[in-house]
């Protein structure tokens, strides 16, 4: 017999899966969907829109985070849960950490995604390399003027911290 929590998780995960199918069937992007829930109510939805929007950051989780933040009028998802049809990629995981939901649930794994052509292993491997050994070289430009906005921010009295 399923617990109330299992039924609840299933309900919201089915919504994430439904969103993944919707986006894919409309040729909006890959088969990924996400739903954000607060107080047992869906407050954000998203499916992958990478190819239809020409935006490599338009993954389902990022789209759902943007939707939820807009609806809730906040930049953090305190008290929210994210249900996603697949284990988040490194980019989405970063966005999730910045959004700060209280929990993340996923269905398919990164290995499942790799089997259908969405392999993030390269990115995971790159993150673990030293900055000098990565494929894309990050080159520091020494510019004293760059510190100006940082110093101004540090002294700013009416800033919104995040």
Q: Name the residue among 84, 87, 40, 38 with its Cα closest to residue 64.
A: 84
**Residues 6+ positions from 46 with CB-CB distance below 8 Å:** 19, 33, 34, 35, 60, 61, 62, 63, 64, 65, 66, 67
Six token digits for residue 94: 């970063």
Residue of 22, 61, 126, 145 with catalytic role: 61
Looking only at Cα atoms, what is the longest distance across the chain?
Answer: 64
Catalytic, 61? Answer yes
Q: What angle do CA 40, 9, 76 make, to 5 degrees?
A: 55
Q: Which runs of E-coded beta strand occur in 23-138? A: 33-38, 41-47, 80-86, 103-108
Catalytic residues: 61
């Amino acid at each position: 017999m399923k617990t109330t929590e299992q039924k609840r998780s299933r309900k919201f995960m089915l919504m994430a899966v439904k969103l993944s199918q919707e986006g894919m069937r409309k040729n909006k992007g890959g088969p990924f969907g996400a739903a954000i829930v607060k107080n047992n109510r869906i407050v954000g939805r998203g499916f992958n829109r990478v190819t239809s929007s020409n935006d490599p950051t338009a993954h389902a989780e990022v789209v759902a985070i943007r939707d939820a933040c807009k609806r809730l009028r906040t930049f953090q998802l305190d008290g929210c849960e994210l249900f996603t049809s697949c284990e988040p990629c490194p980019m989405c995981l970063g966005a999730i950490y910045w959004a700060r939901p209280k929990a993340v649930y996923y269905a398919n794994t990164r290995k499942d995604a790799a089997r259908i052509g969405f392999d993030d292993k390269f990115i995971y491997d790159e993150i673990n390399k030293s900055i000098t050994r990565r494929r894309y070289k990050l080159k520091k430009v020494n510019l004293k003027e760059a510190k100006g906005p940082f110093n101004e921010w540090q002294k700013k009295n009416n800033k919104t911290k995040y």
